[in-house]
Structure 1
Amino acid sequence: MGVPMVTSEVARQAKGRERRRAIIEAAAAIIREEGPNAVTHRAVAARAGCSLSATTYYFSGLDELLAEAGTLNIRRWAGRAEAVADSIEAGDVPRTRDQAIEAILRACLPKDTPLPTHYQQLLAVGTSSPITAAYRAGRRRLDQAVGRVLEHTGCALPPELVIAVVDGAAVTAISEHRDVRETARALLDELIGERWSPPVVG
């Protein structure tokens, strides 16, 4: 009797972890698409395909869910930049300044979310302390990943500055109905200027 009971308990716990993860992913997606104010227990339950009670069972409150969702989002963005850095370190090294700028843009800008939506939710996050804290806590990993990209593309600039320029260019472009990537590309080209040198490969 003991083994079946243990197996059943393990399966139950695994199902619980999977459901909790699905709820966090649903909340994170809502934040990315609609902003933090759209995250309610009812909206998350509908998105995750679970009962309303499940969204309260696995979390002490909405703030905990928002914090977990914010952590997932910043990890997602850091992971994107890390993938670019990994590709470069594996041998796909940009040979020109234009290629270096393109690599930086890939590391800094999402491709799976409309850019206006991405930046609107980033600005709206200022109204949610749990998400703000999560983004701040995860920012170091993003900075480090972008720093790796800069190091291997011959751009002698701090990652914090480059990210700020890209984000600023994006907000400006969105507010003026201009192309975000082209605006960011032009500003990066001006910023990098003579600071760029061909990376040493070998």
Structure 2
Amino acid sequence: MLKVGITGGIGGGKSTVSKIIQLFGYPVYNADSRAKYLMNHDDHLKQQIIGLFGAEVYVTGELNRKLVAAKVFSDPDLLKQMEHYVHPAVYRDFERWSAEQTSGIVFKEAAILFESDGHLTVDRVICVTAPLETRIKRVIHRDHLTRDEVLKRMNNQWPDKKKIELSDYIVYADDEHSVIKQVDEILKNLKKS
């Protein structure tokens, strides 16, 4: 089974690429949404998070993500500690999920694939990129954040330039390139590997 990572900075277009890949019939594991699920349902991980932030971080059994985001995006050390707990849980979950798939190629969408060493768990990497201002506008519109909040989150991710250098394929999710055509070419190439 070939495992392919899909990454790129916030607002870059990863989710669009993942949806297109799913339309082509391939399974896609979304690391961000699974991490959110695990933080609410994996008892061991929940206890680790409570140990880090205190019991008030869970309200009626659900993680107060706004509170956590406010804390970790202003404290890089706290973010690293949180990731130290979350990334191994996501890795185990991805391995379990992959074993259940019947496709010869599976995909893992992860915003911080390189930052979390997730690229070591896949065979190829697709980086999805878009111009900075386009990304900022997308995130402001999608998540109802201020420009400063978006930039703070971007500063916790590697720059696209660095991700592109380490990736096997690049998808330009801008107004000048057809994302569908780029994805189709990559899938054809992956099928040959």
Give the TM interval when normalised to the shorter protein. Answer: 0.3 to 0.5
| Larger Rg over CA atoms | 1
Q: TM-score when scaled to structure 2?
A: 0.33
Q: Write 1 or 2 for the structure with the bigger share of helix.
A: 1
